[in-house]
């Protein structure tokens, strides 16, 4: 079984160490729609699941992008909103063996990824994987640059470019 890369794990590229995973600790709405002093009351947030105001439901997953001519994927850890029905079904199966055989769940991307044009509310399919693995997030095949990169892959040079853009953003 392929091992999941931990956040911040790096790959050597010539003399450069490049992180292959970036992500957000909470959905967009946590940071930009709710005042900091209201967050604890309005959100139930874990590292994998989030509920806002008992009416908005989110799951954290991996949006994986193949790296051309490399043995690992580049990963964005992202939050996706689900319907209450889908969220409840995911929770029901959360610790069950065989959960990876579930049909994918439709969701809306609920993060802004700063190195791309608007990513909030891109259409996704969430594929639940075996227990212990974060769900796989597949984007609808559109002409959005992130969707194109997920389909076609990126080079190590693009990974380096992303790293530089993230450093400027932070």
Query: 131-166: per-residue pLDDT in tens?
Result: 999 999 999 999 999 999 999 999 999 999 999 999
User: How many CA atoms, within 13 angstroms, populate the side-chain half-sphere of residue 168?
Assistant: 8
Q: What is the pLDDT of residue 5?
A: 41
What is the CA angle 143-61-22, rounded to 5?
80
Dist. CA 23–CA 77, nearest whole Å: 4
pTM of this structure: 0.87
Query: 57-89: per-residue pLDDT in tens?
Result: 999 999 999 999 899 999 999 999 999 999 999
The sign one gets for the Cα dihedral 42, 109, 169, 167 is positive
Q: What is the pLDDT of residue 31?
A: 84
109 within some domain: yes
Dist. CA 24–CA 110, nearest whole Å: 10
* Total number of domains in the chain: 1
Q: Which domain holds residue 57?
A: 21-153
163 within some domain: no
131 within some domain: yes
Q: What is the pLDDT of residue 28?
A: 93
Query: 17-65: per-residue pLDDT in tens?
Result: 678 999 999 999 888 889 999 999 999 999 999 999 999 999 999 999 9
Dist. CA 93–CA 127, nearest whole Å: 13
Q: What is the pLDDT of residue 1?
A: 35
27 within some domain: yes
125 within some domain: yes
31 within some domain: yes
68 within some domain: yes
159 within some domain: no
């Amino acid at each position: 079984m392929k091992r999941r890369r931990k956040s911040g794990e790096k790959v050597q590229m010539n003399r450069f160490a490049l992180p292959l995973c970036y992500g957000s600790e909470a959905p967009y709405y946590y940071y930009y729609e709710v005042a900091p002093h209201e967050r604890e009351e309005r959100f139930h947030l874990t590292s994998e699941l989030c509920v806002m105001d008992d009416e908005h439901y989110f799951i954290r997953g991996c949006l994986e992008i193949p790296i051309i001519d490399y043995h690992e994927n580049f990963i964005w850890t992202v939050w996706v909103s689900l319907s209450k029905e889908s969220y409840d079904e995911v929770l029901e199966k959360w610790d069950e063996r065989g959960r990876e055989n579930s049909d994918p769940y439709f969701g809306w991307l609920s993060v802004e990824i700063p190195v791309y044009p608007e990513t909030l509310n891109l259409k996704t399919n969430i594929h639940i994987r075996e227990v212990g693995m974060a769900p796989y997030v597949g984007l609808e095949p559109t002409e959005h640059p992130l969707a194109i990169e997920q389909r076609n892959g990126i080079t190590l040079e693009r990974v380096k470019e992303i790293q530089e853009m993230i450093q400027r953003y932070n």
